[in-house]
Amino acid sequence: MEGLNSAAEHSPLRSAAEGFRMLDLPSHLSLDDLISIVERARQKRIEVDVSESLTGGSVCGLWLSTDSAEIILHAPTPSALHRQQFILHELGHMVLRHDELVVSSNYAATLFPDLSGEKVSRILGRSDFLDHIEAAAETLADLFAAAIRDSSLEPRSFERIFG
């Protein structure tokens, strides 16, 4: 899977649609299936965990990329659908390779001298670099959610008709 060259070259909808199409998803899809597909595309395992420090206000999820893993942290929520959407949004960033659209490490180090410039640039590059980057990730998350929802409806319909 090749990443998209630049978010500035694409509208959020177009970027999301291209990212979705690049994955060539199966007709039956679950969240676990999607995570496995993105793991293969990124060539790293994906770890998902709840973070009590995320309040669910302005930041509901966070994606950290390390040399060995992709880590998704999400705000606590009693809603399985909210949890899924938080995860799907971060998977959207991964698929769209938003970690490649970053503020330079040197500049980031001057902003936050006590933190690794590379880590700060990744977070800044994603969190507020351009509004349409977030919109593209959320649009792709919506496409993923629809694919999962449509997959979960089909077996119930089949069983209802054929027992």
The pLDDT averaged over each successive group of 10 residues in the chain (163 residues) is 46 93 94 98 97 83 92 95 96 92 54 58 52 90 95 56 50
d(CA 109, CA 119): 9
Contact 124, 107 (CB under 8 A): no
The pLDDT of residue 20 is 97
Q: Model-level pTM?
A: 0.74
- HSE-CB at 58 with a 13 A cutoff on CA atoms is 2
Place of tokens 């999400």: 74
d(CA 84, CA 36): 15
Using DSSP, state whether 78 is helix, strand or coil: coil
The pLDDT of residue 130 is 55
Contact 10, 4 (CB under 8 A): yes
Contacts of 67 (CB under 8 A, 6+ apart): none
Longest dimension (CA), the chain: 64
Contact 42, 94 (CB under 8 A): yes
Sorted by where each begins, the domain ranges of the chain are 11-152
The pLDDT of residue 8 is 45
Place of tokens 């919506």: 142
Three-point CA angle 76, 62, 9, nearest 5°: 140
The pLDDT of residue 55 is 80
